[in-house]
């Protein structure tokens, strides 16, 4: 299980990635999908913009993208 601190770090890293590349949530989801990750733009939006809690398996996908985006 991810700790609340790890969850916040994933969120902060994804938000920084979005800001750095000037992406929308849908653009970010498309990039994540093109790198071979299974991502739902709606869940990504809920996590980043609404602060909703998502499953650890989903967060692991996000963490993997943050660590190796290509």
Q: What is the pLDDT of residues 42-63, one digit of tens each?
A: 999 999 988 888 999 999 999 9
Q: What is the pLDDT of residue 24?
A: 95
Question: Cα(35)–Cα(61) distance, rounded to whole angstroms?
Answer: 11
Q: What is the pLDDT of residue 70?
A: 72
Q: What is the pLDDT of residue 60?
A: 94
- Is residue 15 within 8 Å of 44, Cβ to Cβ? no
Q: What is the pLDDT of residue 14?
A: 95
pLDDT band at 69 (very low <50, low <70, confident <90, very high): confident
Q: How confident is the prediction for the chain on average, in pLDDT?
A: 93
Domain ranges, ordered by start, for the chain? 4-67
Q: What is the pLDDT of residue 33?
A: 96
């Amino acid at each position: 299980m991810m700790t609340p601190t790890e969850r916040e770090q994933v969120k902060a890293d994804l938000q920084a990635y979005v800001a750095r590349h000037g992406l929308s949530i849908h653009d970010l989801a498309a990039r994540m999908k093109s790198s071979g990750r299974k991502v739902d733009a709606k869940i990504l939006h809920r996590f980043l913009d609404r602060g909703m809690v998502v499953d650890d398996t989903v967060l692991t996908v996000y963490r993997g993208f943050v660590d190796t985006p290509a």
